[in-house]
Amino acid sequence: MNTPEVAVLAEGLAKRYGDKRALDGFDLAVRRGTVQGLLGPNGAGKTTAVRILATLLRLDGGRAVVAGHDVAREPHAVRRRIGLTGQYAAVDEILTGRQNLEMFGRLFHLDGRRARARAGELLERFGLADAAGKQVRHYSGGMRRRLDLASSVLLAPEVLFLDEPTTGLDPRSRNEVWETVRDLVAGGTTVLLTTQYLDEADQLADRIAVIDHGRTVAEDTPDGLKHGIGGDRVQVVLREAAELPRAAGIVARVAADGAAPDTDVAERRVGVPVTDGVAALTEVARALKDAGIGVADIGLRRPTLDEVFLRLTGHRTAAEETGGAGTGRTYGTEAAA
């Protein structure tokens, strides 16, 4: 399974802390040049997995190969090929941005001239050139993260681990970090991303693994995961609740696998799962118009990743609990249905 196409491979990873199993047979394979999201509730083992893959923690069982090298047997070779950005911007507050990059460059064993040149390049590329001579403690949260990312990619790593890279950032800084990550991926870097923000995974990840109780419980593309818990639904809100039975009859015609439409009288709403979303939507809209039924709203609704997450793990995300930034996040009745 250790083909050149796989940049990160984890097989049956196990990590125990006393009686607690932080990882309990964790599997993952990340294709080179892609972004793999790693989602899970707090304490599910995301950070433990990343720390093992980044050689910060020893594993108790299983096998992990990163950038072609076994993390247990050749940690030094792995370290030369990875970058790590953790939950806190791990940069020196007292040094300037430039001094930080030069120091980390030296520690990556670049010679003085190359470390300086590389620091200049990265400051430019990460939009920090103007702040290069300022002490990092005067940086904004977004600037710190970008400097942190820049420090992680000094050697142009094959694999970049991002452990909740935008936690605590405002939406604008978050967008800046996303742009930076997209640039890196376009340049061929493989990214393993853990996040609590599901829209972040939706935006960045090619594939998503959901981890719970130390093992992978689902792994697919974001669309695949959403499809897996029910796919698209056509949903209609009527002007008059009295028309609901007639509307349900019309909606039932497009139902997938003869599923029964569910109606909500209080909301004057009727919905049904469908297979070909767009065709079903057009058909229902036309049929309702022909029947002269007044429609307040009609739409195609796809499950959000939050619903996927809730279904798979039984937890809401921390981001939702703390009211973190997110787009179009609604917990419909479908999520619990």
Partner 1 sequence: MSAPTARAAAERRLYWAFADCWTIVRRDLTHLVKQPANIAWQLGFPIVSVLLFVYVFGSAMDVGGEGSYRDYAMPGMFAMTMAFGFMNTAMLVAVDKDRGVTDRFRSMPMARSAVVSGRGVSDVFGAALDLAVLALIAVVVGWRSDGGPLATLAAFALLLHLRFALIWVGVLLGLLVPNQEAAGGLFALAFPFGMISSVFTPPSMMPDWLGAIAMWNPVSSTANAIRELFGQPGTTGDSWIEQHALLMAVVWPIALTAVFLPLAVRRFQRLSR
x/- string (CB under 8 A) for partner 1, residues 18-57? ------------------------------------xxxx
Among 14, 90, 185, 287, binds partner 1 (CB under 8 A): 90
Closer residue to partner 1, CB minimum distance, 91 or 169: 91
Residue 13 near residue 59 (C-beta atoms within 8 A): yes
As given in the structure block, the two tokens for residue 326 are 């997110």
How many CB atoms neighbour CB 265 within 10 A?
10
Within positions 138 to 177, which residues make up the interface with partner 1, using CB under 8 A?
151
Hey, is 211 helix, strand or coil?
strand
Q: Rounded to the nearest whole angstrom, what is the least distance from the CB of residue 52 to partner 1 in the complex? A: 10
As given in the structure block, the two tokens for residue 308 are 């996927």
Of 96-104, 185-193, 222-230, 256-264, which segment contacts partner 1 by CB under 8 A? 96-104
Among 22, 82, 131, 201, binds partner 1 (CB under 8 A): 82
Of 28-36, 92-100, 179-187, 216-224, which segment contacts partner 1 by CB under 8 A? 92-100
Hey, is 262 helix, strand or coil?
strand
Cα 47 to chain center, whole Å?
A: 14
Among 29, 39, 71, 84, binds partner 1 (CB under 8 A): 84
Distance separating alpha carbons of residues 170 and 325, to the nearest angstrom: 8
As given in the structure block, the two tokens for residue 309 are 């997450």
Does 94 bind partner 1 (CB under 8 A)? Our answer is yes
Closer residue to partner 1, CB minimum distance, 59 or 305: 59
Distance separating alpha carbons of residues 300 and 236, to the nearest angstrom: 9
> Residue 208 carries which side chain, given as an amino acid letter?
I
Q: Rounded to the nearest whole angstrom, what is the least distance from the CB of residue 233 to partner 1 in the complex? A: 43
Closer residue to partner 1, CB minimum distance, 101 or 272: 101
Strand partners, 82: 159
Closer residue to partner 1, CB minimum distance, 21 or 301: 21
Residues in contact with 246: Cβ distance below 8 Å, sequence separation at least 6, in sequence order: 291, 293
Number of shown-chain residues binding partner 1 (CB under 8 A): 30
If we measure between CA atoms, which residue out of 173, 161, 150, 140 comes closest to residue 98?
150
Neighbour-count burial of 148, counting CB atoms closer than 10 A to its CB (0-12 exposed, 13-18 middle, 19+ buried): buried
DSSP, residue by residue, 104-123 = HHHHTT--HHHHHHHHHHHH
Does 185 bind partner 1 (CB under 8 A)? Our answer is no
Within positions 101 to 140, which residues make up the interface with partner 1, using CB under 8 A?
103-104, 106-109, 135
Does 73 bind partner 1 (CB under 8 A)? Our answer is no
Closer residue to partner 1, CB minimum distance, 35 or 84: 84
Residue ranges that bind partner 1, judged by CB under 8 A: 54-58, 76, 79-80, 82-84, 86-95, 99, 103-104, 106-109, 135, 151
